[in-house]
Amino acid sequence: MFTEKRILSVSKLTSLIREVIEENFEHVWVEGEVSNLAVPASGHLYFTLKDAGAQIRCVLFRASSRILKFKVQNGMALVLRGRVSVYDQRGEYQFIAEYLEPKGIGALQLAFVQLKEKLAREGLFDESRKKPLPGLPRRIGVVTSASGAAIHDILTVLRRRHAGVEVLICPVTVQGEGAAAEISAAIRDFNRYREVDVLIVGRGGGSMEDLWAFNEEQVARAIFASRIPVISAIGHEVDYTIADFVADLRAPTPSAAAELVVKSRQELDAQLSNLSHRLSLAMEHSLEGARDRTEGLLAALKDPALWIGHLMQRIDELSDRAARALRGKVSLSQERFVWLSHRLQIRSPALEVERFRERLLIASDRMAGAMRHKIENVREKNAVNAARLSVLSPLATLERGYSITRSRADGLIVRSSDQLEKGDSVTVAFRHGSANCIVETVQGES
């Protein structure tokens, strides 16, 4: 290709390839399935776009990813617009995406579904946390455009149904860049100052793109956090937004929201008339009952003297019954006293003591006899043991003429002549007294 030998560095070669590719693939549309998605702290999106036969590395830089309405996920089929380039450091070609959308479904519709599922899992749509509307609000807050048809419809209905109610309007942008932030801030401001009893948040009809501010997550969370009841009134009856699901009540149109929030004067007059009629009937019924009870009490009221006579008669009757009861009680007590006295005589302590004394004398005699018998047995045993000891006593042996010889050296009894030698000193014990002797001769056994 080159007429003369030209050596290129890797960087130069890569740069040349990048220029060729970028010049020929500057505006490209491509479709495929997302895999290997990575979202580092930088905010850029890195992923691989693939089909059945090939794959290419893709990057969506942070500036472009911030305008996405939906969340990119692995396995999602996408259509991308961008340019093909080369990443010099790795020598790989890649697709730099500038715009992407889901294949087969609009980006806004996918973002709507994803956010709705997320908030539903967190419980923002639960009926149990929705607040009831006040019966007759004194002041109503409205968050909408100051120049749209919605505020005109709301004020017209409120003046017709209840001209005395106060309305505070917080004008906001209801579509386009920054609309969601203004709507959220207005809801928070109303909650901060607590100047109203109920809030109407809405706008007139439009396309999905026009209504998109009410599908933003920050608006949904501002409505959920509101301590003031919120009525959503967005678009026409067929239009549904995320705000409708979070709000305490959804009105199909702004005019319907105004009709829901206050009752008409005719309705209030009818309700007051009905309550007044019911109150009159209740009062008449109560007075009639009181009158009947009074007449009954008057009929039951009799001459006090007659009542006193009846009471005196009752007192006499009770006194007589008390006297009879007392006499019966005394008689019963006397009979019990006689019975107890007889029992006490039968079980007199003196008789019991005498019986115990007799039993003690008998036991004492038996014990004395037993002791004498025991002593006699002991004496007899002692006599027998003494006789046995006398027979076995060494003294008795000595009495018969025997003696006991001990070595004076160690005091041991000499039992054999083998224990002695000539000249040994011994002691001979007799029945009466002893003698110290010197051995002159020693004779063995014969």
| pLDDT per residue as tens digits for the range 124-177 | 889 999 999 887 888 999 999 988 888 888 888 888 877 678 899 999 999 888
User: 3-state DSSP call for residue 61?
Assistant: coil
Q: Give the C-alpha distances (Å, rounded to integers) separating 189 from 168, 223, 383, 384.
A: 12, 12, 127, 127
C-alpha to C-alpha distance for 232 and 211, rounded to whole angstroms: 12
Please name which of 175, 168, 169, 167 lies closest in space to residue 219, comparing C-alpha atoms.
Answer: 175
User: 3-state DSSP call for residue 348?
Assistant: coil
C-alpha to C-alpha distance for 347 and 412, rounded to whole angstroms: 79
Please name which of 48, 46, 52, 45 lies closest in space to residue 34, comparing C-alpha atoms.
Answer: 48
136-262: CATH, from 3.40.50.2300, 1.10.357.10, 3.40.50.300, 1.10.760.10: 3.40.50.2300
* Cβ atoms of residues 259 and 157 within 8 Å: yes
| pLDDT per residue as tens digits for the range 6-29 | 778 787 787 887 777 767 787 888
Q: Which of the pair, 44 or 343, is modelled with greater confidence?
A: 44
Please name which of 166, 150, 304, 290 lies closest in space to residue 231, comparing C-alpha atoms.
Answer: 150
Dmax (CA) for the chain in angstroms is 166
C-alpha to C-alpha distance for 87 and 57, rounded to whole angstroms: 10
The encoded tokens of residue 319 equal 């006194």
Q: Percent of the chain beyond pLDDT 70?
A: 91
The predicted structure's pLDDT at residue 205: 81
User: 3-state DSSP call for residue 125?
Assistant: coil
What lies within 8 Å, CB to CB, of 185 at 6+ separation is none
State the average pLDDT over residues 422-434. 85
Inter-axis angle of helices 217-225 and 107-122, nearest 10 = 30
DSSP state of 213: G
Length reported for the chain:
446
Q: Give the C-alpha distances (Å, rounded to integers) separating 299 from 294, 295, 302, 304.
A: 9, 6, 8, 14
Average of per-residue pLDDT values in the chain? 82
User: 3-state DSSP call for residue 103?
Assistant: coil
- Report the 3 state secondary structure along 256-273: HHHHHHCCCHHHHHHHHH
C-alpha to C-alpha distance for 9 and 11, rounded to whole angstroms: 5
What lies within 8 Å, CB to CB, of 49 at 6+ separation is 30, 32, 33, 34, 55, 56, 58, 78, 80, 95
Is the predicted pLDDT of residue 61 greater than 70, yes or no? yes
C-alpha to C-alpha distance for 255 and 232, rounded to whole angstroms: 11
C-alpha to C-alpha distance for 84 and 93, rounded to whole angstroms: 7
DSSP state of 214: G
Q: Give the C-alpha distances (Å, rounded to integers) separating 331 from 110, 193, 244, 325, 341.
A: 105, 89, 93, 10, 15
* Cβ atoms of residues 229 and 199 within 8 Å: yes
The encoded tokens of residue 205 equal 């009809």
The predicted structure's pLDDT at residue 246: 93
The predicted structure's pLDDT at residue 27: 82
C-alpha to C-alpha distance for 231 and 224, rounded to whole angstroms: 12
**Of 66-75, 185-194, 411-420, which gets the smallest average pLDDT?**
66-75
> In 253-363, where do the E strands start and end?
none
The predicted structure's pLDDT at residue 264: 44
Q: Which fold would CATH assign to domain 10-104? A: OB fold (Dihydrolipoamide Acetyltransferase, E2P) (2.40.50)
What is the reported pTM?
Answer: 0.45
C-alpha to C-alpha distance for 430 and 403, rounded to whole angstroms: 5
